[in-house]
Amino acid sequence: CHLIHYLRLSHHLIVLNYLICTFDKLKSVSSEDIKITDAVFDGVEVRVFEPPAKRDERLKRSVVYIHGGGWALASARTSLYNNLCRIMAESLNAVVVSVEYRLVPEVCFPEQFHDAVRATKHFLQPDVLAEYSVDPSRIAISGDSAGGNLAAAVCQQLSKDEHLTIRPKLQALIYPVLQAFDFNTPSYQQNMNMPVLPRYVMINYWIDYFNGNYDLAHSLLINNHTALDVGQALSFRGRLNWTSLLPSSFKKNYKPVIQTTGKAEIIQEIPALLDVRAVPLLAENETLQLQPKTYILTCENDVLRDDGVMYAKRLENAGVEVTLDHFDDCFHGCMIFTIWPTDFSAGIQTRNSYIKWLDENL
């Protein structure tokens, strides 16, 4: 794929996603257990999973789910996410709305964010909830990886919308990516070469999301964009101080990487690096105080581990009830790998824990 991109035959992400979806995309196939339909919510495609109505049951709970894939890959219709959402709908007896937001390179930030907000706000309308027999007081927003980023950003946006009459009861974030401020947190240093999501791949996902230049990758890797002389970043530094936000068991013997002099032009070229709609971990405390009860799942073998742990701590400090569900022996992306030939015990373990929390709290 990178050779194809280098030769300018096509964007490598288009080719990669084409291969993924060609071999994996499923049609909308309903069964006796779950009705699956494709719909459009305010211009955004969604896939809706509906369990059958039970006797004497009036309203169901619901989960709005946003898939991962670096804002560039996968689909609500691939077998991995189709299977996850079907099992969620069955296990929770809940209506699951899986958002099919547009991807890089077709669109870049903030369009993925806008798609997720539009689809969610459309679903939260009283008449739409009534159409799907959903209880307005029992709705969760959830997502994994880049979808966890979008879920957190959507929750923050909804919490500040004074015109919204129905708000989510919960947010559940699965190994979310939440910041592009510091690519040298302990988990980024510890797992820099970890398969599935090495550090350089995550940095490239950010660059693609922001429609930036790959030539900036090395400067981002050594935190030149948030050096002490980069004035735009100064006000955010206290919101992402991992030396105070992480427990000692995660900090270990790692040292902060803070450049004295850097490149302010990086932030000028890519201002979204400090836009809270893209990096929810940098939100101000006043916004965090408005967030719903929260579940965050993290994995030890994941560069994004500390993103989730720091967000949990900041939410907790802001007075939000948080469950941090950490798995020492699991890796980034594991929760969707529950189907042969990638039916890993880590996937079953994390998925069961996630669904159990939703069942007990939604």
Q: Which residues are catalytic?
A: 145, 302, 332
Using DSSP's 3-state secondary structure scheme, residue 35 falls into strand
Q: Count Cβ neighbours within 10 Å for each residue of 264-296 and write b for 16 or more, e otherwise.
A: bebbeebebbbbbbbbbbbbeeebbebbbbbbb
Q: Which DSSP category does 338 fall into? A: E
58 CB neighbour count, 10 Å cutoff: 8
Using DSSP's 3-state secondary structure scheme, residue 358 falls into helix
Long-range contacts: 347-353, Cβ < 8 Å, 24+? 350/174, 350/297, 350/299, 351/84, 351/87, 353/297, 353/325, 353/327
Answer whether 144's CB lies under 8 Å from 175's CB.
Answer: yes
Place of tokens 């007990």: 360
Q: How, if at all, do strands 342-343 and 338-339 pair?
A: antiparallel
For residue 333, CA distances in Å to 8, 260, 344, 350 come to 29, 35, 11, 10
